[in-house]
């Protein structure tokens, strides 16, 4: 799914398009996606205007002038698509970004007077919840999260939090949102390659300096993803109309098994770590 760079790309688009607009109605095409009392739609959502669109970890926060906020998680296959005078899409890249909507992946539709916002999610893991804006930071979803890697200084918090898991693999540790937020399977692999750390290395086997260097590599990888525009309609459809892969713009190892390492030329291999497909250069990333 969308990791931090993709969710932040969604956030920027929604903030630009939605702020100041009023939600006229909501169509619920999949009951389980909207995870709050549906009667609350009438009380706190319909008729409200969007005040701001924020992000925490991999979640979107749509603040409404009812003093309630929609909390959105795209999980593996969630995407947001705006259709109005302008057409815009970001999140999980697939044909729903460019085809007629609603389609079979559409779960929720927010209707505005000048357009529609589609929440599409093929696998139905994604969800939308509703909380009073001033209670958000105390919710189970947000309360225990680790620091943001690209805003504020995460170093002290990161070190303290990752040291709580001395015997876990470094890959599992950086995927843990209570240690550092925003890292998913792609950016975990990219960061570990950049830092030349084998994903199965135990946390206790790395010094503070090595962990902080890895943190810098996490920040660099996430920033590279963000700079390439996350996964948006623009980079999903190439100029010639064919389908593109935004990973090509920055990925060194993810999805590149069998290809040569950009640094040493050794063949990239795919293994399994922490239950996830994991891409490494076995020459650059040796298990000590």
Which residue numbers are catalytic? 2-3, 58, 276
Residue 169 in contact with DNA, rule: CB under 7 A? yes
**Cα–Cα distance for residue pair 28/46, rounded to 1 Å:** 13
Sequential DSSP letters for 181-219: SS--HHHHHHHHHHHT--TT-BGGGS-HHHHHHHHHHHH
Residue from 13, 93, 147, 154 binding DNA (CB under 7 A): 93
Contact (CB, 8 A) for 262 and 284: no
Tell the smallest beta-carbon distance from residue 48 to DNA (Å). Answer: 26
User: Which of 11, 58, 198, 256: binder of DNA (CB under 7 A)?
Assistant: 58
Distances in whole angstroms, Cα of residue 50 to Cα of each of 14, 65, 116, 252:
10, 6, 14, 39
100 or 113, CB closer to DNA?
A: 100
Of 85 and 143, CB closest to DNA: 143
The smaller minimum CB distance to DNA, of residues 46 and 98, is found at 98
> Residue 246, preceding bond cis, omega within 30 degrees?
no
Q: Does 22 bind DNA (CB under 7 A)?
A: no
Using CA atoms of 88, 93, 97, 102 in order, give the dihedral in degrees to the nearest 10. -120
Residues 228-257 that bind DNA (CB under 7 A): 230-231, 245-247
Buried b (16+ CB within 10 A) or exposed e, 181-214: bbbbbbbbbbbbbbbbbbbbbbbebbeeeebebb
Site string for DNA, 110-149 (x = CB under 7 A): ------------xxxx---------------x--------
Closest CB 43 distance from DNA, rounded Å? 27
39-47, 109-117, 166-174, 259-267 -> range binding DNA (CB under 7 A): 166-174
- CB 26 within 8 Å of CB 42: no
d(CA 253, CA 210): 20
CB of 67 to DNA, least distance (A): 25
Using CB under 7 A as the binding rule, the residues of this chain from 174 to 213 that contact DNA are 175, 177, 184-186, 202-203
Interface residues toward DNA, by CB under 7 A: 1-3, 6, 32, 57-58, 73, 75-76, 92-93, 104-105, 122-125, 141, 164-169, 172, 175, 177, 184-186, 202-203, 230-231, 245-247, 272, 274-277
């Amino acid at each position: 799914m969308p990791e931090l760079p993709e969710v932040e790309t969604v956030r920027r688009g929604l903030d630009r398009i939605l702020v100041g607009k009023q939600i006229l109605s909501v169509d619920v095409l999949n009951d389980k996606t909207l995870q709050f009392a549906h009667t609350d739609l009438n009380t706190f959502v319909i008729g409200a205007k969007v005040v701001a669109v924020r992000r925490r970890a991999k979640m979107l926060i749509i603040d409404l002038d009812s003093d309630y906020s929609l909390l959105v998680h795209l999980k593996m296959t969630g995407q947001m698509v705006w259709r109005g005078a302008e057409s815009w899409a970001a999140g999980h890249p697939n044909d729903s970004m460019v085809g007629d909507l609603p389609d079979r992946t559409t779960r929720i539709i927010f209707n505005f007077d000048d357009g529609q916002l589609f929440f599409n999610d093929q696998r139905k893991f994604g969800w939308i919840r509703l909380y009073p804006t001033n209670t958000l930071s105390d919710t189970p979803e947000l309360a225990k999260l680790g620091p943001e890697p690209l805003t504020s200084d995460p170093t002290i918090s990161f070190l303290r939090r990752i040291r709580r898991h001395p015997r876990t693999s470094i890959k599992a540790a950086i995927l843990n949102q209570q240690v550092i937020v925003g890292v998913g399977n792609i950016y975990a692999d990219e960061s570990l390659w950049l830092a030349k750390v084998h994903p199965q290395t135990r946390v206790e086997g790395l010094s503070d300096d090595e962990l902080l260097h890895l943190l810098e590599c996490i920040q660099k990888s996430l920033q590279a993803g963000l700079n390439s525009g996350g996964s948006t309609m623009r980079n999903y459809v190439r100029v010639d109309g064919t389908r593109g892969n935004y990973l090509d713009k920055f990925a060194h190892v993810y999805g590149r098994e069998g290809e040569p390492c950009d640094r040493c030329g050794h063949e990239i291999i795919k293994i399994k770590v922490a239950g996830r497909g994991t891409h490494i250069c076995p020459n650059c990333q040796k298990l000590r």
